[in-house]
Structure 1
Amino acid sequence: MIDDLTRALLNDRGGVDAAPGSLAGVVVLDITRVVAGPYCSMILADLGATVIKIENPDDPDYTRTFPPLLPRDGEEPLSGFFAQYNRNKLGFTLNLKSPDAAQVLDRLVQRADVLVENFRPGTMDRLGHGYERLRGVNPRLVYAALSGYGQSGPYRLRPAYDNSAQATGGLWSMNGEAGRPPTRVGTIIGDLAASLYGVIGVLAALRHAEQTGQGQLVDISQQDSVLTLTENAVVAYTAEGEVPKPLGNEHPFVRPYELFPCRDGFVFFGGYTDKFWRISCETFGSAADWDEHPDLHAMAARFDADVYREKVRPMVVRWFADRTKSELEALAGDLVPLSAVKDIGEVVEDPQIAARGMIVANEYPGHGELRTFGSPVKLDRTPPRTAGLAPEKGEHTDRVLTDFLGFSVEDVEALRTGGTV
């Protein structure tokens, strides 16, 4: 029934792909805001789950006001930021502080498989809706809590943002130009990583719940998530006592494997293996570049920092200086790891991105077309649905209350009058 209701409600505004996905029948309660949480539940929605986005009627997800904004005459503008992370969800309002909130939330929990929240630890307990109480309502419930530092440890109650995770997870200290202050990674990598690990945790816990009838707490920390993105930094420290520092565009030991200038911008070139180095010499240079430098034939020699700086890098810079990004890609993109460094405009129009369906255009009534990223998960039998719209605040509240939860029209009106929904 919930799948039929979901498809009907999402199709009311057009554009949603009605085909059931891998997670068809799974009901997710999304009590999150911003990105770490909304992105997690959006991925589950793309994969076919019914996701009910629960917002406070008086204090909704504040990314609804984040730019870019698509105007509409006489109406609130649409946030492209919000739309990008909330497609395919049902909009539902519920004031969790209301005395009557428990009766509504408990009915939702009884019908749900998953709840995702991203409050600071302890918040849901203070509201009377913590995991221990809700698993009594539904023992099968998978309760995913995404937070800055996790549900345990001395930092657990600290407020946190993405930058907090980049700072305390080690990534910030490693990023930037050599000899200069560290630079944050240029995207909200802590939020995004926590969301992705949240999806993994939810899927694992769902499988366990299906087998045993028992749900569990999925505890995801942004700090933990960022730590796992630091490549070899942990083992470099624990094995050799080395503390990685910013290296700019260089790799800690693999060379050449970095950014190089060309006539109209920059390219990434990673021809560090013996095979790729030989092909590169033959393709970009001349016979002399290979024949006259036998000392560079071995990968270990090219990895030496002094040899690289004095011989290898100047050779590569010479190869690329008078060629454009497109010329270099056309010449060697199929032969060696060489890629143009593209701005986001070039990426959106990239033919490979188009071939993979990674830019999705949706028509928002009254606002016009909005293009967002698609899904990188490609499934040939149950492909993700990416053509859905983000909901208006509380757009589906009445239908979910009556058709899914069994409240009467009079009950709904009483809940609304009391400020519960």
Structure 2
Amino acid sequence: MLDCRVLDLSDHRGQLAGGMLADLGADVVLVEPPGGSRARNVGPFVEGREGDPESSLWFWSYNRGKRSMVLDLDDPGGQESLRRLAASADVLIESDAPGAMAARGLGPDDLAAVNPALVYASITPFGQNGPKADWVATDLIVSAAGMLSNVVGDEDRAPLRIPLDQCFLHASAEAAVASLVALRERKRSGQGQHIDTSVQQAVTQATQSATLCHLYNSPELLRMSGGARLGPFRVRLRSPAADGFVSATILFGESIGPFGARLFEWMHPQGGCADSDLEIDWIHFVEGVITGRIPITEYDRIQQVAADFTATRTKAELLEASLEHRLLIVPISTVAEVVDSPQYAERDFWRDIATGGLDSVRYPGPMAQLSATPLDISTPPPSLGQHTAEVLAELDAAPVAVAPVSHELVSDELVSAAAASHRDPALPLADVKILDFMWVMAGPGSTRVLADWGATVVRVESSHKVEAARTIQPFLNDEAGAENGGLYQNMNAGKLGITIDISKPESRDLILDLVRWADVVCESFSPRALRELGLAYQDLCEVKPDIIMASSCLFGQSGPLSSLAGFGTMGASLSGFYEMTGWPDRDPAGVFGAYTDYVSPKFLSAVLLAALEHRDRTGEGQYIDMSQAEASMKFLAPAVLDYSVNARMPAKLGNDHPSMSPHGVFAATGEDRWIAVACESDEQWQALCGVIGAEGLAGLGVGERRERADEIAGLVTGWTSERDAVEAHSELQAAGVPAHAVADSAMMAADPQLAHRRHFREVAHGANGTMWVEGTRFAMSRSSDGISHGGPTYGEHTFVVLEQLLGYDADRITELAVAGVLE
């Protein structure tokens, strides 16, 4: 689908980006140093082959479909070869420290002189510049800096990490999306640019907008094993089953409350609840608690009644009931249960590929199913230097000189397209028009990033069926209201809003006119919902043959779980992330909230941009079936391969790490204040010993440190517990030790690095004057984002859409209003 050349210079911190582009059809050349990429030394490994550069299951997970060549970029000859490669490349991806590539004469400015059209993407913990740009960091450190650690774990212990490193994967996926945005902008300007992706910013997506709590004057979201604490509410997302655990979502309001009512109606005939429980006010419960009409203890009682009942049923029985009665209960699955799930088998998701001398290794399949351009991911990861001669021969046979291009003016065509799109024509995606029927987070998150960079996104809502994101904390001044929710604002900033009752037959012509206007239609209804309204992909193609349509739901449009209604909390539980996160001596604490909702949007954004590129080149639209669980499996890939190859399940490790020590979260002064500290090398350990006064232990190797982990943890805690977390991380970083305070939303709002990168934006809002939203996770050297407005209020842009985008006159608008189509 993509027709471009990518040079991937990254290591384990960035290789997913090139992997995503390879899956989408790009020719990705992995440029490795003579000893091989650092990723080849990252576990898990094929059993018995640790130390073999061809045995890293982490490397296998993120390098399928690439070609490998060896270049020594610290040697003048290798540097010159890279310059020659860059002259004909479209994208370069790197994850070195800020300034390291420039010191070799291979920085973005250096290579722009060779190829002005090159898109140069950098992935670093805190970004290329700013007060923390040079800070050293591991996955644990940026998890703390990005607030993810603060919302994961047991409330009576230190915040937890997800044991399979996740944070750099979030940033890698953002960098892939950013590269595609820049490539689309290049079609107009002829110019490449430098993409600067911050891992700290990328991982904030996984807090479900809890980073905004302080700025919204709303209570901090607090961690809780198997759930979360939201103000006075203790929300359980883990309940016992007869053979393990399930996730039972019991919440209230117009969108989610009816699921709870159905649960208790199902339980009642089986003796699972009292007669009086059938009278629970599922719609107005929260209001009742806030006003004092309902005691807060009632919520705990309701959740305990449900938990007592689920404990008497198996996970399979509860899943069957969820499918039959439309409940929000799903198993908390192990990796083995995920791999053996009939859902993935029926959708032919897994790919069995011969790799590294093994006849068959099971890999996660494509990030989405595409009707016109199915993704081919059958090529195994390369051996070290496998394609060096091949790539150099291509270079010698057909050297390409790229002439500088300068387009100072925006083309007339783009001005015309942007006028019809209602965005500044200078924005990278100003010619892209999207009709958005998405809900909550996984869907809207994917179109939010496209709106940030210029796409006109028309969001269709109904005031009679409240969007669940409008009912989720944080709320402005802790006051619930449809226009006060931070999650809704964050997922829908910059979009146009129109309210339509799509159940009215008269709405169909209006929607089809919006389809004629759009390039892309996105929806996240349950499967078959739009088909019943005569708005399936085939129907849309009749009015616009080249339309791109994307359907995003938990498990896709087919398979035994396709009809499962639900939220990302259920996707996280069924996808294997939840069960592995916790302390070895306790039940799984689980990842925070709707984890697949934080991962899958990045993949849908990338697929949409690739589909637009294909349509522009061929005139062909297509249908995209996005299973949020399948897309998110990319973040679980090393664990899937470990089970496939070694029959080994991921263990709950707490904050331990198999190759770093010390590696943990330690108490600082103050209530529930913590600092993350990790040592990747002996040098960092020696520096830590010097800071905390443990010079006598400086000679310990990593193996010895792991054996004496409890002793060392006590020494580190003795030092950190007498210091403010921010002061402590500043002192440790000055000595070259990876460390960061575990941030809450107040600390995030005061973080000088986030301020430097304009992470939090105060934007215009139709009801409240201004609201806070998060900015983009990446910056570009030439292009600016277009973030200026929050999420639309109900029907805020109805007349803008009808009059300016569709050209409707007053009579036509009156007809729609009289018919009850416009709300």
Q: TM-score range by the shorter chain?
A: 0.7 to 0.9
SS at match of 1:391: coil
1:259 aligns with 2:665: yes
What letter matches 1:220 in structure 2?
M
Q: Which moved more, 1:369-378 or 1:166-175?
A: 369-378
1:218 aligns with 2:633: no
What letter matches 2:820 in structure 1?
G
Deviation, 1:52, is 0.3
Structure with more contact order per residue of length (Cα contacts < 8 Å, sep ≥ 6)? 1
Whole-angstrom distance in 2 between the partners of 1:205 and 1:365: 33
Q: 1:113 aligns with which of 492, 495, 519?
A: 519
- Unpaired runs of 5+ in structure 2? 1-415
Write the mapping of 1:178-327 to structure 2, written as runs, cut at 5 A.
178-230=584-636, 232-264=638-670, 265-290=673-698, 294=699, 296-297=700-701, 299-302=702-705, 304=706, 307-327=707-727
Cross-structure match for 2:552: 146
Cross-structure match for 1:355: 756
Deviation, 1:236, is 2.3
For the 8 Å contact 1:361–1:370, the answer to whether it is kept is yes
Cross-structure match for 1:136: 542
Whole-angstrom distance in 2 between the partners of 1:3 and 1:60: 31
Distance 1:242 1:419, change over 3 A: same
RMSD: 2.4
For the 8 Å contact 1:55–1:393, the answer to whether it is kept is yes
- Work out the number of aligned pairs and report it: 401
What letter matches 2:750 in structure 1?
E
Whole-angstrom distance in 2 between the partners of 1:373 and 1:230: 26
Whole-angstrom distance in 2 between the partners of 1:417 and 1:78: 30
SS at match of 1:96: coil
Cross-structure match for 1:338: 739
Q: Equivalent pairs: percent with the same residue?
A: 28
For the 8 Å contact 1:2–1:404, the answer to whether it is kept is no
Deviation, 1:310, is 4.9
Distance 1:5 1:247, change over 3 A: same
Cross-structure match for 1:15: none
Whole-angstrom distance in 1 between the partners of 2:506 and 2:464: 16
SS at match of 2:542: helix
Listed one character per residue, the Cα deviations across residues 102-156 of structure 1 (whole Å, up to 9, x for unaligned) are 2212221112111111111221112211112213322322212110101232211
Whole-angstrom distance in 1 between the partners of 2:777 and 2:630: 23
What letter matches 1:399 in structure 2?
V
Cross-structure match for 1:13: none
Distance 1:126 1:289, change over 3 A: same
Whole-angstrom distance in 2 between the partners of 1:323 and 1:67: 32
Deviation, 1:231, is 6.1
Whole-angstrom distance in 2 between the partners of 1:174 and 1:243: 9
SS at match of 1:232: helix
Whole-angstrom distance in 2 between the partners of 1:21 and 1:61: 29
Whole-angstrom distance in 2 between the partners of 1:227 and 1:30: 25
SS at match of 1:229: helix
For the 8 Å contact 2:502–2:508, the answer to whether it is kept is yes
Cross-structure match for 1:12: none
Deviation, 1:66, is 3.9
1:59 aligns with 2:477: no
For the 8 Å contact 1:146–1:219, the answer to whether it is kept is yes
For the 8 Å contact 1:145–1:218, the answer to whether it is kept is yes
The TM-score with structure 1 as length reference comes to 0.87
Whole-angstrom distance in 2 between the partners of 1:368 and 1:107: 32
Distance 1:77 1:142, change over 3 A: closer
Q: 2:453 aligns with which of 38, 47, 54?
A: 47
Whole-angstrom distance in 1 between the partners of 2:660 and 2:538: 49
SS at match of 2:780: coil
Whole-angstrom distance in 2 between the partners of 1:210 and 1:272: 46
Deviation, 1:320, is 3.2
The TM-score with structure 2 as length reference comes to 0.46
1:396 aligns with 2:797: yes
For the 8 Å contact 1:56–1:93, the answer to whether it is kept is yes
What letter matches 2:558 in structure 1?
S
SS at match of 1:228: helix
